[in-house]
Amino acid sequence: MVAQMEKYTDLAVQYGTEYGIKILGSLLIFLIGKWIASQMVVLIKKGMDKGRVDPTLISFVANVTYVALIIVIVIAAISNLGVQTTSFIAVFGAAGLAVGLALKDTLSNVGAAVLIIFFRPFKVGDFIEASGVMGTVDSMNLFSTTLTTADNRSIIIPNGTLVAGNIINYTSNNRRRIDMVFDIDYKDDLKLSKEVVMQILLDHPRVLKEPVPVVAVGALGPNSVQIFARPWVAVEGYWDVMFEITESVKLEFDKHQISIPFPQMELHVRREELLSSS
């Protein structure tokens, strides 16, 4: 009885020692591998940052690299335990296929993120219009893009939805044209009105001299003559310049007694109709 107990004890110690070392080795492989993966991602980020690579691309490459390294590390740790990784990879692949089919809509967002990264219709910090909303691109991950609107709301748009429609990037170029329309009365001096608007554009310090601002009669409306103004400005000054020019035009029109008409209807009553009705 004692000999049998000693036999089982020796076997337990033997297997415990053998598999304990393997488990400890696998744990060390995972922990050290994870630390090395983190350091590699940090080095990749620093290198790409020094190369002035787009922040969105840096984040994407870093995330993909880290996930790929972790998968390799996990497989190496399991292999150290004596598990056949070939069958494990096959099971993992089958499970991945099943998950992929179940999450096909979500994975389409990942594919859209790849398209955005490589074709770069916008980058973080750009002001865009997409999916019916406008805002500044705040961040982007593999599944969605976050926009911050002018009134400081956060709008999260799935990447698949984002690339499915038109994307208007208002800040991709250095300069932008402001399209403005000013209405004047038909009785007002047209040439004077155009001169007033043009002088305001030429005097404004943030209106670009090239291309030259354009002031022209754009349309003869039912209630007014429409003067089109087309100044060019730097992208960052678009809204400020537009507001300032609008205010200046109103003040100068008042100074030169140029009226801004409003829609109205004139009613003419013929005397014959009054007599017949009485």
CB atoms within 10 A of CB 138: 14
The predicted pLDDT at position 204 comes to: 96
φ, ψ (nearest 5 deg) of residue 254: -65, -40
Q: What is the pLDDT of residues 22-68, one digit of tens each?
A: 777 778 888 888 898 888 888 888 887 777 666 766 777 787 788 88
- Given CA atoms 245, 250, 251, 256 in this order, what sign does their dihedral have? positive
Q: What is the pTM of this model?
A: 0.61
The predicted pLDDT at position 92 comes to: 62
The predicted pLDDT at position 120 comes to: 83
- 3-class SS letters over 188-245: CCHHHHHHHHHHHHHHCCCECCCCCCEEEEEEECCCCEEEEEECEEEHHHHHHHHHHH
Question: How many Å is the Cα radius of gyration of the chain?
Answer: 35
Tens of each residue's pLDDT in the chain, 278 residues:
555 555 555 555 555 565 667 777 778 888 888 898 888 888 888 887 777 666 766 777 787 788 888 888 888 877 777 766 666 566 666 666 665 555 556 777 878 887 887 788 888 889 999 988 999 999 887 788 999 998 999 999 999 889 888 999 999 899 999 999 999 999 999 999 999 999 999 999 999 999 999 999 999 988 899 999 999 999 999 999 999 999 999 999 999 999 988 776 666 666 665 555 55
| Residue that has been written with the tokens 């995972």 in this structure | 30
The predicted pLDDT at position 81 comes to: 72
Q: Which tokens go with 133?
A: 């909303």
* Domains along the chain with CATH numbers: 2-102 (1.10.287.1260), 121-169 (2.30.30.60), 175-255 (3.30.70.100)
CB atoms within 10 A of CB 68: 11
The predicted pLDDT at position 119 comes to: 81
